[in-house]
Amino acid sequence: MKLFAIFSIVFIALFSAGSAIGQDNAKAKDPLCDDCAKRITGFLDASEMEVPLDVPACALCKKNDVDMITVNISCVLCNACAEKGNVCMLCLIPMAEGWPESLDDVKGLPTEKLLFVSNRDGENEFFTMNLDGKEQTQLTKDDFVEMDPAVSPDGKWIVFSGNMDGWWDLFVMDIRGEHLRRLTKSAGAELSPCWYPDNKTIVFMFQDNMGMKLCTIMRDGSDMKPVEMPDEFDNMEVGYPVVSPDGKKIAFVAGQRDDEMSWDIYVRDEKGVVVNITNDEFYNSAPAWSPDGKKIAYSFSDDVGKGMGNDEIYVMDSDGKNHKRLTENKFVDSGPNWSPDGKNIVFISTRDQVKEGIADVYIMDSGGKNQINITNSSSKDLAPRWVKADGKK
């Protein structure tokens, strides 16, 4: 799937460190956080999980004649012990330690920055830089792969997808790379998260062997649930959601499961009504709302399957009218993201690649003029995101 390949550069690997930590957290001395207890007895309900025939004994009570909840590959927890909240089998690592008493007390950055993903250190890590590309600074250095960052509207939080133990799950941390916390642990992939304007609610794409759909979850990891969609989307792949600035609409990408050549951008309003705003026979992806909610920038390709990979960036009115092309070359231009004032757009491009697989972060005026390479690296730089300065409206 081309869209998944471009924006979700997947490195499937099992991490021995994550496995060892999981075994350590199976000990009864480790407490279970309230969020994980709620999710284990809620979203991960035993009636919704496939229980293996040779179910091992519960990690706490040691009984094997009780209803079990599969928590990870190697451990299960019975309902009774999950309700007691004694052992954290979901977090795997003590990410809740040092978590602020009030999540609203976290401070943002003093100046406006750009966040991006780069593999220049070997694995996908997060970096920040000035708007002109100077002072490129590594933000994370973790033992797992990271991608799909989304910065909260207030500029204080980053939610992202991480592959710690062979699965893509959601994590959240503050904009300085501290207070890391795991939000999900499931037998699927949680990808492409996006914040609501309240800085607390997150919408994302959930993918498993049944396909792709949209879900929401709270910043603290609670209340994970699917987004209701019209019946016509039951047999479609649905993903890559972005929330409008007023929080009333979600733009997303969808297409038939047996057709990777034609995907469209849809908009769902707060009543659940969905409208196709591209409605063509080509490949439309990576929607991004302008700060005033009047425009949507996106990627367009009419040569999917031809091996050329010539995505270009367009902009249109939020109702799908007045499409305008912003980039034009024989390479990939994709992943647009607006500045908070709506005057600029950052994106990725392979036009200056010195070898295959290289991409840089570019910035341009919102009308498409003054396109400038601001990373100029020999690595793959992806997913640029604007970070608002602390306290800036």
Look at residue 93 and tell me if it is in a domain.
Answer: no
Q: Quick one: 184 and 239 in the same domain?
A: yes
Q: Quick one: 39 and 171 in the same domain?
A: no
Q: Quick one: 77 and 147 in the same domain?
A: no
Mean pLDDT of 17-24: 30
Structurally, the chain folds into a number of domains equal to 2
What CATH number does the domain containing 250 carry?
2.120.10.30
Q: Residue 221 pLDDT > 90, yes or no?
A: no
Domain that residue 69 falls in:
26-84
Q: What percent of the chain is modeled with pLDDT above 70?
A: 70
The mean of the pLDDT values for the chain is 77
Q: In what order do the strands lie in the sheet with 125-129?
A: 137-138, 125-129, 113-118, 381-387
Q: Residue 306 pLDDT > 50, yes or no?
A: no
Look at residue 269 and tell me if it is in a domain.
Answer: yes
Q: Residue 104 pLDDT > 60, yes or no?
A: yes
What is the pLDDT at residue 167?
81
Name the residue with higher pLDDT: 258 or 275. 275
Q: Quick one: 69 and 141 in the same domain?
A: no
Look at residue 196 and tell me if it is in a domain.
Answer: yes
Q: Which of 124-128, 329-333, 345-349 has the lowest mean pLDDT?
A: 329-333
Q: Which of 57-66, 223-232, 269-278, 373-382 has the lowest mean pLDDT?
A: 57-66
Look at residue 20 and tell me if it is in a domain.
Answer: no
What is the pLDDT at residue 9?
27
What is the pLDDT at residue 346?
98
Q: Quick one: 40 and 123 in the same domain?
A: no
What is the pLDDT at residue 108?
87
What is the pLDDT at residue 65?
57
Look at residue 2 and tell me if it is in a domain.
Answer: no
What is the pLDDT at residue 26?
30
Q: Which of 23-32, 59-68, 209-218, 303-312 has the lowest mean pLDDT?
A: 23-32
| Run of H or E residues at 20 | helix 16-24
Q: Which residues of 80-114 are buried (b: 16+ CB within 10 A; e: fewer)?
A: ebbeebbbbbbbbbbbbeeeeeebeebebbeebbb
Q: Quick one: 77 and 117 in the same domain?
A: no
Q: Which of 134-138, 281-285, 319-323 has the lowest mean pLDDT?
A: 281-285
Mean pLDDT of 358-367: 96
**Of 305, 189, 203, which is closest to residue 244 (Cα–Cα)?**
203
CA pair distance 107, 19, nearest whole angstrom: 33
Q: Quick one: 79 and 171 in the same domain?
A: no
Q: Quick one: 78 and 110 in the same domain?
A: no
What is the pLDDT at residue 12?
24
Look at residue 5 and tell me if it is in a domain.
Answer: no
**pTM metric for this prediction:** 0.76
Look at residue 277 and tell me if it is in a domain.
Answer: yes
Q: Quick one: 179 and 231 in the same domain?
A: yes
Q: How confident is the model at residue 178 (pLDDT cuts 50, 70, 90)?
A: confident
What is the pLDDT at residue 352?
84
